[in-house]
Amino acid sequence: MNIDSLTKNDLAIFFTKERLKLISSIFYLAQKQALPIAIWQLPQQKEINLVIDFSASLRQVQTDLEELASGFVVSPFANKGNEAWFIGADLHWQGTIDNLTPAKVNFSYRTEQYLSEEQQVKTTFLKELNQLLVSNLPFSAALQDILPSLPNNNHVISELDFEENVVEAIKEISKGTFRKVVLSRSKMIDLPANFEVVKTFGKVCEVYPHAFVSLISTTETGTWLGATPEVLVSVDRHKIFRTMALAGTQARGNQTNLSEVMWTQKEIEEQALVSRYIINCLKKIRVREFEEIGPKTVASGNLLHLRTDFEIDTDEINFSQLGTVMLELLHPTSAVCGMPKEEALKFIEKHEKYDRELYSGYLGQVNMGGESNIFVNLRCMQLLDGKAVLYAGAGITQDSNPQKEWKETEIKMNTMQAIL
């Protein structure tokens, strides 16, 4: 069957039959041919989106939400000049990963003329995809053979060293250097022998329906899987801008009534700092008409957080560029960096002694269906050759306890480790 000659209706029927094999096949071939790919599910939605960029190399762009074409942006924590990697939607698949319910899917390509090299890449990709889909070969994406090998710069900090960094941070807070700093760490674990990346993505979608779940793979960034609860900026088709202050963490345990959850003074103050940071960013650009909802307790898998939501009608205030402007002002937020930002960044660079890469950066869809949704990349892991690197951080304030902060990072890492 020639995929390129199918009508949209034919594709819907064809892809519905073996959608998991379709997504696995596309992901496998994208990695094999070193093509940038992103797969994601928005919070509280069943629909899956997948995009592939047929360009020869990943493009670095200014994250301008109003000007960028449809696609997916990925930015590291250390973002200079609001630059991000851009995965264009040269190929776009849309549907549901649920094997029990028939899915109406859309399979489309960019309409503009391709350069000869990009056209050849597209032709080769679709030819191999067609061969995979019509074959009877079992397809379990055990992709260790095409995942990158272990990096030389991986840094795993000991519990003692992490707690000493917390002590140093508290000293600097006492001196007035900054009010809060977020210290992070990484941990490496073995992937299960039967690990299948796309099936794992589907499992994360099922376990964390209120999170933004993403699977991305590019030559420049490597392969990352995550489930983050934190919106950085979003602008919907009605021009409503949204962001949130998310801070304070505790294990959910058996707690079912969220209105009865108790928070410590340290956690309440930490969340208030993030909210004030957002309000101060709005004040800088003279935006005073916004709706503030919260704080309230929200659940994210096995964790509980305090969250305050902010909403602004950009048409009412005549500020169509608000999403882009606030993205540049907010990142990195005080929830992943600290406050004041510059002083906290200097402390992080001196004491963490490793590259966070995409952890606590941002990622998300741009101009897909008239909407942009950008999230802070939390609760994530980098997939390597037979290994996974987990990341987590803790907000340090005057009232922090070093042992409790270490435990908080362990609890956060368990969010993704439990999936494996």
pLDDT per residue as tens digits for the range 360-382: 999 999 999 899 999 999 999 99
Res 357 pLDDT > 90: yes
Does 177 map to a domain? yes
Q: What is the dihedral of CA 55, 58, 62, 66, to 10 degrees?
A: 40
Q: Taking a C-beta distance cutoff of 8 angstroms, is the pair 338, 348 a contact? A: yes
- Regarding whether 100 and 170 lie in a shared domain, the answer is no
pLDDT tens track for 118-155: 777 878 888 887 777 776 655 554 444 456 655 545 56
pLDDT at residue 17 in the model: 43
Residue 355 phi/psi, 5-degree rounding, is -90, 115
- Residue 32: what pLDDT? 85
Residues 298 and 342 in one domain: yes
| Better pLDDT: 252 or 2 | 252
pLDDT confidence of residue 78: 87
Residue type, 336: V
* 259: in domain: yes
Gap between the Cα atoms of 40 and 52, Å rounded: 12
Q: Within 10 A of 256 (CB to CB), how many other CB atoms are there?
A: 8
Structure token digits, residue 282: 């709005």
Q: Does residue 340 have a cis bond before it (omega within 30 degrees)?
A: yes
Domain membership flag for residue 277: yes
Q: Is 42 within 8 Å of 327 (Cβ atoms)?
A: no
Of 6-15, 70-79, 325-334, the range with the lowest mean pLDDT is: 6-15
CATH number at residue 393: 3.60.120.10
Closest CA to 271 of 300, 297, 306: 306
How far apart are alpha carbons 183 and 395 in whole angstroms?
7
Strand partners, 330: none
Q: Which of 142, 169, 204 is the last residue of a domain?
A: 142
Residues 74 and 181 in one domain: no
Average pLDDT over residues 166-177: 97
The pLDDT value recorded for residue 113 is: 47
Contact 300, 311 (CB under 8 A): no
Q: Are both 131 and 168 inside the same structural domain?
A: no
Among 332, 335, 329, residue whose Cα is nearest residue 284: 329
In a domain, 152, yes or no: no
pLDDT value of residue 147: 62
Distance CA 155, CA 353 (A): 8
Q: Does residue 200 belong to any structural domain of this protein?
A: no
| 249/189 same-domain check | yes
Q: How many CB atoms lie within 10 A of CB 297?
A: 20
Residues 280 and 383 both lie in one domain? yes
Tell me how long the chain is. 420
Statement to judge: residues 90 and 186 lie in one domain: no
Enclosing domain of residue 22? 3-142
169 pLDDT above the threshold of 70? yes
**Do residues 134 and 259 both lie within one domain?**
no
State how many domains the chain has.
2
For residue 151, what is the DSSP state? P
Calculate mean pLDDT across residues 83-93: 89
Cα-Cα end-to-end distance for the chain: 36
Residues 171, 92 share a domain: no
Greatest alpha-carbon pair distance for the chain in Å reads 70
Residue 202 included in any domain: no
Among residues 420, 417, 416, which one has the least CA distance to residue 208?
416
Residue range 222-239, pLDDT digits in tens: 999 999 999 999 999 999
Q: How is 305-330 classified by DSSP, letter by letter?
A: EEEEEEEEETTTTT-TTHHHHHHHHH
- What's the pLDDT score for residue 2? 41
> CA 25, CA 3: separation in Å to the nearest integer?
14
Alpha helix (H) residue ranges in 338-401? 341-351
* pLDDT of 102 strictly over 60: no
In a domain, 207, yes or no: no
Distance between CA atoms of residues 262 and 399, nearest Å: 17
Residue 208: closest CA among 74, 105, 303? 303
Other CB atoms within 10 A of residue 117 CB:
11
In this structure, are 282 and 397 located in the same domain?
Answer: yes
Q: DSSP for 87-112, please give it.
A: EE-SEEEEEE--SSS----EEEE--S
Q: 3-class DSSP state for residue 182?
A: strand
Residue 227 lies in a domain: no
From 11-15, 68-72, 251-255, 414-418, the region with the lowest mean pLDDT: 11-15
Do 95 and 128 lie in one domain? The reply is: yes
Joined together, the tokens standing for residue 400 give 């922090």
Q: What percent of the chain has pLDDT over 70?
A: 84
Q: Name the residue with higher pLDDT: 247 or 212.
A: 212
Which of the four pLDDT bands, split at 50, 70 and 90, describes residue 323?
very high
User: What gap in Å lies between CA 270 and CA 56, rounded to an integer?
Assistant: 44
Does residue 391 sit in the same domain as residue 252? Answer: yes
CB atoms within 10 A of CB 291: 11
Last residue of a domain, one of 109, 142, 175: 142
**What's the whole-model pTM score?**
0.88
Residues β-bridged to residue 231: 375
Rounded to an integer, what distance in angstroms lies between the CA atom of residue 45 and that of residue 171?
44
